[in-house]
C-alpha cells in the first residue's frame, strides 16, 4: 500500500490522492498526468524528488520518515511494507498512574520475547532498538510514554496505535472488547483483565511462585500476539475502500503458541486474596 501512497507528499491531500488513483496514478512509478489534475506548480516541481526519496526510505526500511508525514489516521499503511522491522508490544505495570513496569512482551511475527522486573527487564531498552515500527493498543497514551518515563529513554520508532483505526471501524471497548467483537477466544484468559495482572504480580513478589508468574506472562503475551490479528484486520478493512484490495490484502496470521500456561484457578485465588499457593 505504501508504494501507492501519495498523501505524505507536500501539497497532496487525501482527496488529491484519490483523484490521482482515479486518473491511473496507482504507484510511485506512474507518471504524473499533465492534464486533468489541479496541482500547484510547487508540488509538480518537487514530485520526482519526493518519489525518489520515498523509494529510498522504503528500501532502507525507515518507516519513521513516512510516520512523520502521513496523516495520523493513515499510519496503518506502514505495516505491509515494514513488517520485517515491526514488533507488537504490551506492558504490565503495578498501577495506571505511576509505579513499576512488571513485565513486557514483544512479538515480531516470528518470535516472542518477554521481560520481567528483577530478572531481565533491563535488557528491554537495548532489544527494542532492533525494531523500527511498534504496534500497540492504546500505546500512544499508555505503553510508550510509560516506557520512556520509566527507563528514561526516547523511543525513536514509528508507531501504530490500533485503538484509533479500530475505533474508526466500529470496534471499541478496549482490547478485549475489540477481540470479542471479532470472535477471538482467549480460553483460560478470557476473563482476565489488567487489574488481575496487578494482583498476580503482587502475589508473585510475595511468594515467588513461578506458576503465578507464568499466568501473568501468558496474559501479557496474549495481549501482545493478538495485536498481529488486529493489525491485519485493520489493514484489510481499510484497504477495501481503496482500489488496491486485491493487490495488498493480507492473510489472517497464525499466532504462535504461548510458551507459558495460564491457570485461571490462580487468578481466582488472587482475586479472593488467598495466600494458599
Q: Which of 6-10, 34-38, 199-203, 230-234 has the lowest mean pLDDT?
A: 34-38
pLDDT in tens, 110-122: 999 999 999 999 9
For residues 256 and 142, state if they share a domain: yes
Task: Count the helices and strands in the chain (H runs, E runs).
Answer: 12, 5
Backbone angles phi, psi at 268, to 5 degrees: -60, -40
State the cell numbers at 69. Answer: 508525514
- Please give the Cα distance from 239 to 217 (Å, whole number): 34
Q: pTM of the predicted model, to two decimals?
A: 0.94
Scan for cell 522504503, then name that residue.
58
The parent domain of residue 124 ranges over 80-271
Of 32, 60, 88, which residue sits at a domain end?
A: 60
108 and 143, same structural domain? Answer: yes
125 and 236 share one domain = yes
Tens-place pLDDT, residues 24-67: 999 999 999 887 788 888 999 999 999 999 999 999 999 999 99
Amino acid at each position: 500500500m505504501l508504494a501507492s501512497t501519495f498523501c505524505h507528499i507536500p501539497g497532496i491531500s487525501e482527496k488529491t490522492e484519490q483523484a490521482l488513483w482515479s486518473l491511473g496514478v496507482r504507484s510511485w512509478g506512474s507518471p504524473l498526468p499533465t492534464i486533468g489534475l489541479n496541482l500547484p506548480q510547487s508540488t509538480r516541481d518537487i514530485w520526482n524528488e519526493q518519489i525518489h526519496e520515498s523509494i529510498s526510505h522504503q528500501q532502507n526500511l525507515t518507516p519513521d520518515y513516512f510516520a512523520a508525514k502521513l496523516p495520523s489516521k493513515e499510519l496503518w499503511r506502514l505495516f505491509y511494507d515494514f513488517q520485517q522491522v515491526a514488533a507488537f508490544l504490551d506492558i504490565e505495570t503495578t498501577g495506571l498512574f505511576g509505579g513499576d513496569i512488571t513485565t513486557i512482551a514483544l512479538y515480531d511475527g516470528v518470535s516472542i520475547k518477554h521481560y520481567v522486573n528483577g530478572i531481565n527487564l533491563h535488557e528491554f531498552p537495548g532489544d527494542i532498538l532492533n525494531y523500527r515500527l511498534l504496534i500497540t493498543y492504546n500505546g500512544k497514551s499508555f505503553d510508550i510514554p510509560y516506557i520512556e518515563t520509566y527507563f528514561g529513554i526516547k523511543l525513536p520508532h514509528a508507531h501504530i496505535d490500533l485503538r484509533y483505526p479500530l475505533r474508526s471501524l466500529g470496534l471499541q471497548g478496549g482490547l478485549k472488547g475489540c477481540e470479542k467483537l471479532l470472535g477471538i477466544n482467549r480460553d483460560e484468559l478470557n476473563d482476565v483483565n489488567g487489574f488481575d495482572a496487578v494482583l498476580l504480580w503482587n502475589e508473585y513478589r510475595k511468594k515467588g511462585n513461578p506458576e503465578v508468574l507464568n499466568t501473568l506472562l501468558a496474559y501479557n503475551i496474549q495481549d501482545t500476539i493478538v495485536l498481529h490479528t488486529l493489525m491485519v484486520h485493520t489493514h484489510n478493512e481499510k484497504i477495501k475502500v481503496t482500489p488496491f484490495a486485491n493487490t495488498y490484502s493480507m492473510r489472517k496470521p497464525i499466532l504462535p503458541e504461548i510458551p507459558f500456561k495460564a491457570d485461571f484457578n490462580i487468578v481466582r485465588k488472587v482475586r479472593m486474596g488467598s495466600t494458599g499457593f
